[in-house]
Structure 1
């Protein structure tokens, strides 16, 4: 139907006849002279319909052009010529197409929103096909497409094997709820949609496929937010006969390559490495954004004997932390702004947020404005200012709570202050975070839970040692972080059945339950399973970073809303009783409040 794409018409085609297909982005009728901006996925070119006594049928062309409306679907034939008024804002701005024929392929009814207006997300998702047609969404989605293509090229060139794993599988606990699928041929039994291909890719290592990858669809029935979806895509990789650095060095090279190819960005020649403990201590996060230079400062030793009980109590608590954060130039903040920061910290677990404004560091106590200053002696105030490096015009914020809670909310405050105060440096800041705790204690369930997943190997080789030191055990897990986002997470896996059984036991999974849920894995580990490890990268998250958007919904063609709905199709929706009966399912009535 066409000879060229709209956005690729250039000066080399001047004098040639072209046929283009696309949508009318803008149509202007100047009374016998008509202009149409014709758009396809490559871009926009200007179409001109103008009077010309020597051009047969030109009146028909002008008549057709004058009837064109917004987003009408057109085919245009015409001659390329140089534009008199150049448009430097578009790639085709040096040329235009003088129409000899305009065909209306499909008339567009009045649209629910205009591509050039800032429509709400709900209306955009309801009419997603119109949203995806816009140049900005085309750009974002094509960034994702280029990312996946670059990843496949890199992996295929290095003999990684693309192997599909099942979508209908067995329900296993991996930290989130499974989506269950009733098995029609097995009444009362269910498949689960995979949260990841984790167990299958480990078994492929046992089967002798040394280097595996898959662009895998994964499913988790969990609450949604900007960087979470019920169904998502990840690049899964697994290696046999490897240690941590083997996996890290290979995948680091891969990420450098795809950023270079897709974005023309040169990432660091070697990503820095930081332990989990250091990341939490310095940044209050296991995925620190290193573009923000702000760091947390522990001040428990300075306030252990002070009169401010919130500080002294947590400073003397076995699992307590008192931490300070210097905010450069923040002494100018109003009380309302400080209260807003306290509310932000509260969202992340803070019970309160103490603060000091250093209005004049040279004046000591007299230069400090703070509601807690009266509880601290001169030496303590001076020590805090010195430890944080605060100067005149700065503010200091304080957090006091359990170590993890104080780290979490002060880490969140660090990010917000960094953005609000313009302290986020340009560019890309990748790093590896390593040596994660093996377990964390769940107070609600009164048991350990795996920080990564139950198949992550501990740093110790002896099961008895792990059992004796479970609280402080370190795993062989690692995450790749980029600009404050975890883009990949992996570990060396457990390849010994006895160690795997020990981990299950520490997680409260008894021998009978472990055999019922993971017997196939335990069996595989008994038959010469090689040492192996891997990693999974979030395609949606990397694409969003590359596209410059904070929401992964912008790089997923048909995402769900935060209420887990597809507004375009109306999913989820009821199904007829007959269809439920076929899969042996009945619906319980909703419990009355």
Structure 2
């Protein structure tokens, strides 16, 4: 039967004790990790969030009652122990922070008994994730997950401390707001008081933080919950956490400066990582041309090479037709992979097709200098030699080429570069390569809607020198936008905001918004701009991604307490779920669900 604490007070967490406490009488509490009965002596490993501690029970010391309780203990029992800290009589456990001490139990209480858990509570669990997420409260007892969440807490504390010292004010913005769909779908919340109307959950606090700049708060930040009703990928969550900020009377350099110093501080506080400033920068167009990605992983080379000019006169129609249609031909050099079996090359071709390629051309440079290729017969010896030279090809190399619209070529080779980097062991998991990507395109063409859409959002300021192209060539305009990238993952992004009403109206015009439509969606912001708005800029980080990368976790689910799975459901609570008909009636909602086809 479970006992109460009866006035007992914990004096230490398990991992807080050390040789300095030898001789002290302490009270510790936690979960039984393991019990080992050696006959007249029982050893119990006690676990709490700080670590493990060995408890030793001998009947002559602890008494018959405590010894009987120790005999009964099983994994995950919750216990309280009063005892004396001693140096270990047996072998020291070098792998344990408390491995040179143990507690000799004097008093024992079983606070809660436990059923046998459905999987072992241990680090680096091999249990399937779906089962662990169903019993997430047990999964969260694992020391590696607890370490991740403790580090997450330390990171947010470090962020708050730094930004507060830099003069930022932490201000909360609404969760129930206006739906302003322009990009991902909003999660909608029906209003009972205003029948037929809906709130939108925020995809970011963007509009409210700009309003705060209009209100004179100068420097704002928030650790903000955000929501996006997107088609999910394996590592995307419907709700996530942003480190959100906005600054007044600044330009690009000011935002980059404060955020570089924030990154340096957080990395030092969190994992002892020394980050050298200033961080490297690359313009968007150069990132795409060199890496095929606007979030390049710079821990290894294998950069893209544009060989369009070299192959323009070849007889290979795949290359020439791509060029005639305004595309390009680019390649990557997988150094030393010239002997790759055809089966593996075919697998790379299939991989490339998954990113939109119609195929993948290859050329293996044999050790004797000859070529094995899917297209060599369509080119002269001189053309092949020029191509190999352009690709910096050497004996034993594998050259891979994509030919299509340039955006497809970038996508294909960018993904292929990362895949080969993993296969070839080129990526150092112990490196942390930060990078700013700047001067993004302001707009991108949406073929489905036959109009330009904002690459970031419709409040992003164009580069001053590109304002002249707003009417004549909108696709040419660069934005005062910047992303911060770590090891090929976009950590966050931001921009200088439009604060002149004439530029904002022109932006809406280019995006195809009628003035009335723009005011229906964003009127509360546009009206605020009539009353004096400072130049302002901001940035938002994905906190989940930042923590994931700093702890070298495989997934953002490993750094979130209660994540959802790929279909946006929660295996622990079974959300989303049906609701009572009375609730729907109060909201004036009638369901019109399509019945699933049955065989």
1:424 aligns with 2:431: no
Listed as ranges, the gaps of 5+ residues in structure 1 are none
Q: CA deviation at 1:60?
A: 2.5
**Per-residue deviation, 1:550:** 2.7
- Alignment partner of 1:331 is 2:338: yes
Other-structure match for 1:159: 167
1 CA distance for matches of 2:382 and 2:71? 81
| Matching residue within 212, 215, 219 for 1:211 | 219
Q: In structure 2, what is the Cα distance between the partners aligned to 1:247 and 1:430?
A: 16
Distance 1:27 1:340 in 2: 50
Indicate the residue corresponding to 1:379 in structure 2: 382
CA-to-aligned-CA distance 1:125-144 (integer Å, 9 cap, x gap): 11111011110100111111
Distance of 1:342 and 1:586 partners within structure 2: 49
Q: Secondary structure at the match of 1:529?
A: coil
Segment of structure 1 superposing worse, 564-573 or 503-512: 503-512
Which of 188, 195, 199 is equivalent to 1:191? 199
Q: Please state how far the C-alpha of 1:411 moved relative to its aligned partner.
A: 0.2
Contact 1:220 1:231 in 2 (8 A): yes
Unaligned runs of 5+ in 2: 1-8
Cα displacement (A) at 1:591: 5.8
1:67 aligns to 2:72 (yes or no): yes
| Structure 1 CA distance for aligned equivalents of residues 161 and 320 of structure 2 | 57
Query: How far did residue 297 of structure 1 move?
Result: 0.4
Tell me if structure 1 keeps the 8 A contact 2:59–2:66: no
Structure 2 match to 1:392: 395
Q: Is the 8 A contact 1:24 1:72 kept in 2?
A: yes
Looking at structure 1, the residues matched to 506 and 595 of structure 2 have their Cα atoms a distance apart, in angstroms, of: 40
Per-residue CA shift, 1:329-387, capped at 9, x if unaligned?
Answer: 21232222222222222222111111121122x63xxx211122111211121112211
Q: Provide the residue aligned with 1:97 in structure 2.
A: 103
Distance 1:443 1:150, change over 3 A: same
Q: How far did 1:102 drift?
A: 2.1
* 1:346 equivalenced with 2:346 (yes/no): no
Q: 1:590: how far off?
A: 1.1
> 1:84-483 to 2 correspondence within 5 Å?
84-116=90-122, 117-318=125-326, 320-360=327-367, 363=369, 367-425=370-428, 426-460=430-464, 465-483=469-487
Cα displacement string for residues 71-129 of structure 1 (whole angstroms, at most 9, x for unaligned residues): 11111111111113100101001101111122111111111111234111111111111
2:469 and 2:310 map into 1 onto residues whose CA distance is 36
Question: What is the distance in 2 between the residues matched to 1:547 and 1:464?
Answer: 46
The CA RMSD measured in Å over matched residues stands at 1.4
Q: Deviations over 1:278-337 (max 9, x none)?
A: 00000000000000111000111111121211111112332x021110011212322222
How many residues align? The count is 585
1:11 has 2:14 as partner: no
What is the CA-CA distance between 1:5 and the residue it aligns to? 0.6
TM-score by length of 1: 0.96
- 1:427 match: secondary structure: coil
Describe the superposition over 1:432-476 as per-residue Cα deviations: whole angstroms up to 9, x where unpaired. Answer: 101100111111111111111111111137866412220211111
- Residue 59 of structure 1 and its aligned partner are, at CA, apart by 2.6
Give the distance between the partners of 2:114 and 2:182, measured in 1 at CA: 47
Contact 1:168 1:192 in 2 (8 A): yes
- Contact between 1:304 and 1:316, CA under 8 Å: does it hold in 2? no
For 2:509 and 2:334, locate their aligned partners in 1 and report how far apart those are by CA, in whole Å. 45
Higher mean C-alpha displacement, 394-403 vs 370-379? 370-379
Whether the 8 Å CA contact 2:260–2:277 is kept in 1: the answer is no
CA deviations on 1:249-292 (whole Å, 9 max, x unpaired) are 11111111100111100112211111100000000000000001
8 Å Cα contact 1:32/1:62 also seen in 2 = no
SS at match of 1:331: coil
What CA distance in whole angstroms lies between the structure 1 residues aligned with 2:283 and 2:580?
Answer: 53
- Residue deviations 1:548-592, cap 9 Å, x none? 113111111111100110010110000011101111111112166
C-alpha deviations, 1:148-200, integer Å up to 9, x for none? 01000101111101111111100112310001111111111111001000011
* Rounded Cα–Cα distance in structure 1 between residues aligned with 2:349 and 2:238: 32
Rounded Cα–Cα distance in structure 2 between residues aligned with 1:295 and 1:449? 29
Cα distance in structure 2, aligned partners of 1:7 and 1:462: 59
Secondary structure of the structure 1 residue equivalent to 2:332? strand
Cα distance in 2 for partners of 1:480, 1:463 equals 25
The DSSP-based 3-state class of the residue aligned with 1:137 is: helix
Give the 3-state SS of the residue equivalent to 1:332 in structure 2: coil
C-alpha offsets along residues 193-251 of structure 1, whole Å, 9 cap, x if unaligned?
01000011111111111111011100100122344211100011101111101101111
Which SS does the other structure have where 2:202 is aligned?
A: coil
Looking at structure 2, the residues matched to 514 and 234 of structure 1 have their Cα atoms a distance apart, in angstroms, of 26
**Separation in structure 2 between the aligned mates of residue 464 and residue 388 of structure 1, nearest angstrom:** 38
